[in-house]
Structure 1
C-alpha cells in the first residue's frame, strides 16, 4: 500500500469544490423524490456533524442528542437549508484542529480529522450521485478518490460496514492507474487486513488471487457500490473484489 498524506486543508478544498457542484446538480434534478431524499439526508447529517464534532468529547453521543435540524418539505426552502448547512459545516470543520477530540464510529483515533476526511468524501460521492441523476456525472478528483479508496479499506471495512461476502479468503490487489497507488487487502473470511507490502512480517502467501485495475475514481465508485465490479479490469476471482464493497 502506498502511503497517502491528505491533510485538513486538502479535504476542506475538496469540500469547497464539490459542495457547489452538488448543489447545482441537486437543483437541476429537483424537486423529485430522489433529490428530495438526498437533500434531507445530507441536511440531517451535516446538522448532526456540526453539533457533535464541536463538543470536544470522544464519548459516543446519545441517539437523540443533538437532534438534526428540521428539514423543510418545500423544495426551494429545503435546498436553501442544505446550502446553509453545507456552508456552516465547512466553517465548523475549518475552525477545528485535526487533533481536536471528537467521537467517531470507526476503530481509529477519536479526532476531528476523521470528520474532515469523512465529510469531504461524503460530499464528493453525493455530488457524483446527483450528477449521475442529472445525466452528467464527472469523475471524482484523482487524489481525493485515491484517499477515498483508502478510507473504504482502513475505515469502513474495519468498522464492520462491509456489504460483500464474508466467507472468502485470499488477497486482492487494487491498482489506480492514474494515481500511482496500489493496495493489497487480505480477506480471511469475516476478517480483513490492509497490507503494507514494505513491512510484511508474517508467513502467509501474499500472491494476489484477484487484481482490479482502474482509475482511482472508478475504484472508489465500485467499492462504494456506485459502479459494477465488472466495469473495472479484473483478473482472478472477481468475487474477492466484490467482497470489498461497502455502503
Structure 2
C-alpha cells in the first residue's frame, strides 16, 4: 500500500457528503441496478441504518443490533446526512486504538470502523450514481468517485477482512489457486495463495504472481470484487480459467 496513510474519517465525510448530495437529485423510487429489488430509498435506509449501528458500537465498545428504522418522514438526504454526522461524531469521540468490537478476524480496535464505513459508503455511492445515470441518457455509465489510493485500500480490506469473513460464514473459498492482483494506477500489488480448507488465503503485498494475474485501476479492481463491474474491465495474464473462478467466487457479501 502507499506510504502515505489514508485519513479514513476525512475520506468518509467526503464520500458521505457526496452520497447525501446525490440523494437530493435521484428519485427515491428509482431502481438500483447493483441491488436487484432495491429502490434508492431502500439503499439510503440500508446505509443510514449501518451508520447508526457503527456509531452505537463505537460509543459502547461492544456488539450492537442493527437498528430497526422506520422510513423517514423527512427528506432522505437530510435523514442520511444526520446518520453520517452521528457516525463522524462517534469516530471523533473514540481513539482509533481504543478496544472496540468488530465482526472481522482483525484487531478489535475502534479504528476498524472508520475504514469499514468509508468503503461501505463508497461502494453504495457507486450504486446510487449508477441508479442516477441508468435513469438518464447514459445507461450503464460508471462514475469514478473514489480516489485511487482509497480504492486500493478498499481492495486491501477485501483481502484482509472479507476473504476470511466469507469463509467463516460458510461460503466456499474464493481463492483456490494462486492469484496475483495489480493496481495499475497506484502500483499496489497482492498475491493470494490458498492455504488449506477452511483457512483464509495467505496475502502477500508488493508482488503480483500466480497462475493468473489480474490488472486494472484500483477502483475497477474493487468494484469487480464487490460485483459492481463485469470482470471484462480487467486485464488477465496467465490462466483465464483461474481468474474467472476467482472473480466468480464470493470474496465479499
Describe the SS at the equivalent of 1:160.
helix
Counterpart for residue 185 of structure 2: 178
Runs of 4+ that moved beyond 4 A: 2-5, 161-165
Separation of aligned partners in 2, 1:71 and 1:97: 31
Change (3 A) 1:167 1:151: closer
CA positional deviation for 1:133: 1.1
Counterpart for residue 37 of structure 1: 42
Q: Could you give the per-residue CA deviations for residues 66-104 of structure 1, whole angstroms, max 9, x where no partner exists?
A: x62633344x43332111111111111122211111100
Q: Is the 8 A contact 1:4 1:147 kept in 2?
A: no
TM (norm. structure 1) is 0.83
* 1:245 to 2:251 alignment: yes
Describe the SS at the equivalent of 1:102.
coil
Describe the SS at the equivalent of 1:245.
coil
TM (norm. structure 2) is 0.81
Counterpart for residue 146 of structure 1: 152
Q: Is the 8 A contact 1:171 1:210 kept in 2?
A: yes
Separation of aligned partners in 1, 2:170 and 2:40: 24
Q: Is the 8 A contact 1:225 1:245 kept in 2?
A: no
Separation of aligned partners in 1, 2:205 and 2:51: 37
Counterpart for residue 70 of structure 1: 69
Separation of aligned partners in 1, 2:161 and 2:151: 15
Q: Could you give the per-residue CA deviations for residues 98-120 of structure 1, whole angstroms, max 9, x where no partner exists?
A: 11111001011111011010011
154-163 vs 82-91, greater mean Cα deviation: 154-163
The root-mean-square deviation of aligned C-alpha atoms, in Å, is 2.7
Change (3 A) 1:168 1:222: closer
In the alignment of these two chains, the number of paired residues is: 231
Match 1:130 to one of 123, 128, 137: 128
Return 5+ residue gaps in structure 2 as ranges. Answer: 30-37, 134-140
* 1:25 to 2:27 alignment: no
Separation of aligned partners in 2, 1:163 and 1:127: 28
Counterpart for residue 53 of structure 1: 58
Describe the SS at the equivalent of 1:211.
strand
Q: Is the 8 A contact 1:43 1:82 kept in 2?
A: yes
Counterpart for residue 35 of structure 2: none
Report 1 or 2 for greater relative contact order, CA contacts < 8 Å, sequence distance ≥ 6. Answer: 1
